[in-house]
Structure 1
């Protein structure tokens, strides 16, 4: 019998408006949500695992590490077809990417949540749960890595990002589009991810990997502080193709010589970084100083991958190969 595990972490999907506080707070339990789905065809064989009732901003890499162990354990069982992690949307893409980087099983793993709480008209939580279970039950979902299912669309955790603070259609793969859709009872895939990587790194973390967004006129104080407080890795969300103001070069050079791994990604929504420009602070100049190109990953995912790479004791060349697309 094929069973799907629903791991509940919390988020808007489990919230209602509290009149005394005037805002949405955690209210619904996993049983509340499961009972709503019970008796509906494919939804008789669900297993509920209540991990937490945390809003998305409460989730840390340590929680992601624990979730990866839980998911891996469930997927090792023969009667488990797949796992859906029910999650708040704010850092959902980071948890999805973390699981994609560490869980070794090829069985379907889906992350979902909702943009509206259960007190609002148009509450999307139950629809997203139903769609996620269907994706887990589809044989076509096997071997596609960790997926994000929202608003009847299927996206790769490698590509997807949250694009809007309100829209139900917030999770998008900006450059390439969704992998597929859920149309009533049918799970339909339109494409594969040709550049997809399932990293299968050991499930280890550190708290010394950081993300810095580059902007016009940025001081090198941020980098100097990270160097002086024991940073192991820094992701620079750089300008354009992977460029930074020239005043940062001294601190970047200092960091690299101190053994701190620096990865470059772009603050642009689409496109990859490349060492095109050789002027001081340009991408070519930065790679000559020992920086690593982060491909088309966004800053938050690159930080997750660099954190895992450092925790897995990969050297500079191994990390460079890891990020290469």
Structure 2
């Protein structure tokens, strides 16, 4: 990003521009640029993410490619990275990277983040770790990473901390990543809606989603996975229409589980056929459901 005449930051840097911003990249890898798109993160769509995954898979099919770095707007990095993690089939490292400052700001973090991502993608110890998100010299697994602050340089966090770090003398992993599943999606199915509940939420948004053509729903419930009683009728309606409904927690971390009974409790929702999303965030579970629908068969087996 760089400022336009009005001072607003807009996409303007090509892949070649980014390489020139960090001349020392050439010391770590021989780089080939593939300009897939020039759009900000907030304009990225699931369909574009799926097309990106296909493009990356093509590169990974080349035995001469040691790794891939994807530059991406930070607003939707956690969704794109997770989609890549669920769909790609290769051992080479894939590092997704962004910047929290634009190129005209004195604190522009783009070159340093790009260098860290390239070094990670070139590191043998990063192989077969799934897709990685690299910013602020930290390496996170795509599954679980969250953007936690709207402006801080160290905004990306994982519930159990980063997998590793990029330091002056090397790339170091504290632990290995684990892949939840591979989804052999032939396409990505949209729309899938994400609805977050609050105290006293009713079923209006759920019913509106179903009647307007949603192919599936992801609901962020309370705590362990609970919904207000007035919202439960909407979930029942969605299930009666044959829509898959995935339940996640609106908490920053932790799993959903059918521990509690009563109307709107986990036991009640499980009995309706609601799919429990584990500790997956709402935005990532939405991507997962879109891919599961695109794979066909039993959607629940991918959660």
Q: TM-score range by the shorter chain?
A: over 0.9
| Change over 3 Å in CA distance of 1:198–1:131 after alignment to 2 | farther
1:81 aligned residue = 66
Separation in 2, partners of 1:71, 1:198? 18
2:162 aligned residue = 178
Number of equivalences: 303
Separation in 2, partners of 1:105, 1:247? 46
Separation in 2, partners of 1:223, 1:168? 36
Where in structure 2 are the equivalents of 1:121-160 lying within 5 Å? 121-160=106-145
| Change over 3 Å in CA distance of 1:105–1:40 after alignment to 2 | closer
1:271 aligned residue = 254
1:309 aligned residue = 292
Separation in 2, partners of 1:228, 1:167? 40
| Change over 3 Å in CA distance of 1:39–1:220 after alignment to 2 | closer
1:94 aligned residue = 79
Structure 1 residue 290, shift from structure 2 partner: 1.1
Separation in 2, partners of 1:205, 1:44? 33
1:37 aligns with 2:22: yes
Separation in 1, partners of 2:90, 2:183? 9
Q: Cα deviations across residues 178-219 of structure 1 (Å, max 9, x unaligned)?
A: 00000014000001235x324142241111211101111212
Structure 1 residue 278, shift from structure 2 partner: 0.6
Unaligned residue ranges in structure 1 (runs of 5+): 1-14
1:16 aligns with 2:2: yes
Structure 1 residue 310, shift from structure 2 partner: 1.1
Given that residues 134 and 185 in structure 1 are in contact (C-alpha distance below 8 angstroms), is that contact kept between their aligned partners in structure 2?
no
- Aligned CA RMSD, in angstroms, stands at 1.4
SS in 2 for 1:127: helix
Structure 1 residue 314, shift from structure 2 partner: 2.5
1:193 aligned residue = 177
| Change over 3 Å in CA distance of 1:39–1:131 after alignment to 2 | closer
Given that residues 152 and 181 in structure 1 are in contact (C-alpha distance below 8 angstroms), is that contact kept between their aligned partners in structure 2?
yes
Task: Give TM-score, length-normalised by structure 1.
Answer: 0.90
Separation in 1, partners of 2:171, 2:17? 26
Unaligned residue ranges in structure 2 (runs of 5+): none
| Change over 3 Å in CA distance of 1:177–1:40 after alignment to 2 | closer
Greater share of strand: 1
1:7 aligned residue = none
Where in structure 2 are the equivalents of 1:51-70 lying within 5 Å? 51-70=36-55
Separation in 2, partners of 1:266, 1:296? 7
SS in 2 for 1:51: coil
Separation in 2, partners of 1:37, 1:165? 25
Structure 1 residue 252, shift from structure 2 partner: 1.2
1:111 aligns with 2:91: no
Q: Among 235, 240, 265, which residue is 1:252 paired with?
A: 235
Structure 1 residue 224, shift from structure 2 partner: 1.0
SS in 1 for 2:9: strand
Separation in 2, partners of 1:193, 1:133? 18
SS in 1 for 2:288: helix
Structure 1 residue 137, shift from structure 2 partner: 0.7
2:187 aligned residue = 204
| Change over 3 Å in CA distance of 1:98–1:40 after alignment to 2 | closer
Given that residues 60 and 90 in structure 2 are in contact (C-alpha distance below 8 angstroms), is that contact kept between their aligned partners in structure 1?
yes
Structure 1 residue 120, shift from structure 2 partner: 0.7
Separation in 2, partners of 1:129, 1:245? 44
